[in-house]
Amino acid sequence: MSDFIAWLPDADTLDALEALCAALPGAFPAMPPLQVRRRAQLHMTLRYLAEGLPEDPARLYAALAAVAARTPRQALQLERVEIWPAAAVIVARPAPSPALDTLFADLEAVAVACGHAPEPRQPMPHVTLAYFPRGQHAQGLPEAPVVLPLPIDACLGSLSIARTAPGSYDNLHWWPLAEPPCPYSGPEA
């Protein structure tokens, strides 16, 4: 099991991400068969919590509630698909966003203040769409851009604490972000 702070997309965004996942095999026909993520697995990790949740997560939950209360909902555009050969994954990446950078910095500060080691890597916001089969590597990458159903307009409207579960993620706690600029209905149940 692992715990992390995440964005769990709303139903409309999940529909668009599912369509994107379904288009991947046709867009990359020369690649090995992909292990495409299912709807219940689609999310964006905002901060991995390597040490897990403390026995009493109240302090962490209060700090995340404070971040959510002061962070406005933000438009998020998933604008491109990237293949990360070293990780053997295909991901959707959002357009650069100063608001998202600020959110990452706030979440890093909360995690460190609540006893987690500083994150040594630069945040690379993404939604994992597919994995290559074990032992396979990215092969047959197209030279020309592929046609995929992008961009996907979404709203980052909440923070969640999620935990890996077989085939999906359990949403342990959820906080809505502050009101506008974008509409949001909350995480899918």
- Classify residue 165: in a domain, yes or no: yes
Q: Does residue 11 fall inside a structural domain?
A: yes
How far apart CA 20 and CA 18 sit, in angstroms, is 5
Q: Treating both helix axes as pointing N-terminal to C-terminal, what angle do 98-113 and 58-70 enclose, rounded to 10 degrees?
A: 160
If you compute the radius of gyration of the chain from its CA atoms, what whole number of angstroms results? Answer: 17
Q: Tell me, yes or no, whether 189 lies in a domain.
A: no
Q: Which amino acid, residue 104?
A: F
Residue 187 lies in a domain: no
For the ranges 22-31, 49-58, 114-123, the lowest mean pLDDT is seen at: 22-31
Give the pLDDT score at 188. 45
In a domain, 186, yes or no: no
Domain housing 126? 3-176
Does residue 182 belong to any structural domain of this protein? Answer: no
Cβ contact 94:125 at 8 Å: yes
- Average pLDDT score over the chain: 87
Determine the 3-state secondary structure of 162 from DSSP: strand
Domain count, the chain: 1
With beta carbons less than 8 A apart as the criterion, state whether 159 and 46 touch: yes
Burial class (CB in 10 A: 0-12, 13-18, 19+), 29: exposed
- What is the distance between the alpha carbons of residues 99 and 123, in angstroms, rounded to a whole number? 13
**Per-residue pLDDT at 28:** 76
Residue 184 lies in a domain: no
pLDDT tens digit sequence for 102-148 = 999 999 999 999 999 999 989 899 999 998 877 666 555 554 445 68
Would you say residue 188 lies in a domain? no
User: What does the pLDDT look like over 7-19, one tens digit per residue?
Assistant: 999 999 999 999 9
CATH number at residue 20: 3.90.1140.10
For 32-132, list the strands marked E by DSSP: 35-36, 44-49, 74-84, 89-94, 127-131
Note the pTM of the prediction, 2 decimals: 0.85
